[in-house]
């Protein structure tokens, strides 16, 4: 199995051996669809550009995994971006400015998300395998509901149809890195134990979300935001360069709390089987 492990947790007291996996909860962009998590990144760059503010793709990727409004807020708090804002507008950015950028961002994102709705290779087969194991499939995203309303029917036609979906703006409690969207899946899917759930994500806030919810966490290196390349661009690199990108992404995801890191969801079945064995042996996330 091509997976890396964090330090195993100690078995708890009591009788945990009866525990069995119940659900896997996925992120969307960079995890199930949109190899490289390209759709949201470029739109942040484009939205800020309409205000005369230059944001690099690397800067735009930094807060990925947060809800889109929080993502904008975090970008504006970056010193280099805030300096640009003050030079252009003569004052520090405000909540009204965050709202204005968000309102500019939303129609651009809705217009473009369909271009990036193709499943990541292996995602459809992995979802089918999970269902064959009797597991429920949840999901959550930093995308707000209007964007998900466009993405979901397109993804469904391609075979990506989780049992439940939570959008980034759906909960009053907020989004990542808090546990709320993951726990909303637990409630909707009638899961009896958060420790019987796996959270799969390509971003560090998404891994933190799963850990804060008390779940096993699997980070994705090559397919998602941490590397941020298309399949074609990745395939064109020498293996030594791919290995370096993989190692860097894995380090960040493990530091965020991932129990495992793998290249993409195509490798998830082996991890699910291993977590099942660890649960049976009395381990907890």
Whether residue 274 contacts residue 1, with contact meaning beta carbons closer than 8 Å, is answered with: yes
**Can 199 be counted among the known catalytic residues?**
no
Catalytic residue among 34, 68, 70, 199: 68
3-state SS assignment for residue 229: coil
Tell me the two tokens of residue 55: 């944001």
**Can 27 be counted among the known catalytic residues?**
yes
Mention every residue, 6+ apart, whose C-beta is less than 8 A from residue 158: 33, 117, 118, 119, 124
Tell me the two tokens of residue 41: 């990144």
Catalytic residue among 27, 169, 202, 263: 27
Q: How far is CA 190 from CA 70, 72, 162, in A?
A: 29, 33, 15
Tell me the two tokens of residue 120: 């990541």
* Strands, E assignment, the chain: 4-5, 23-26, 136-139, 197-201, 216-220, 260-262
Tell me the two tokens of residue 91: 């004052």
Give the CA radius of gyration of the chain.
19
Q: Which residues are catalytic?
A: 27, 68
């Amino acid at each position: 199995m091509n997976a890396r492990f964090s330090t195993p947790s100690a078995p708890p007291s009591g009788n945990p051996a009866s525990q069995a996996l119940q659900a896997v909860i996925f992120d969307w962009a960079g995890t199930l669809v949109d190899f490289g998590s390209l759709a949201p990144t470029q739109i942040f760059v484009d939205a800020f550009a309409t205000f005369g503010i230059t944001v690099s793709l690397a800067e735009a990727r930094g807060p990925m995994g947060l809800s889109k409004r929080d993502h904008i807020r975090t970008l504006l708090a970056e010193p280099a971006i805030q300096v640009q804002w003050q030079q252009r507008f003569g004052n520090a950015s405000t909540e009204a400015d965050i709202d204005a950028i968000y309102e500019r961002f939303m129609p651009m994102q809705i217009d473009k998300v369909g271009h990036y709705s193709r499943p990541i290779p292996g995602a459809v087969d992995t979802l089918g395998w999970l269902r064959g194991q009797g597991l429920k499939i949840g999901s959550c995203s930093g995308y707000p509901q209007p964007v998900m309303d466009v993405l979901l029917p397109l993804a469904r036609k391609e075979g990506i149809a989780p049992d439940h979906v939570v959008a980034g703006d759906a909960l009053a409690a907020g989004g990542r890195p808090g546990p709320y969207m993951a726990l909303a899946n637990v409630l909707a899917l009638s899961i009896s134990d958060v420790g019987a759930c796996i959270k799969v994500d390509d971003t560090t806030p998404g891994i933190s979300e799963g850990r804060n919810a008390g779940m096993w966490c699997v980070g994705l290196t090559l397919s998602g935001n941490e590397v941020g390349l298309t399949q074609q661009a990745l395939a064109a690199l020498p293996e030594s360069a791919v290995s370096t990108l993989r190692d860097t992404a894995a380090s960040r995801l493990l530091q965020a709390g991932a129990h495992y890191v793998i290249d993409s969801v195509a490798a998830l079945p082996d991890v699910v089987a291993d977590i099942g064995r660890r649960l049976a042996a009395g381990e907890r996330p």
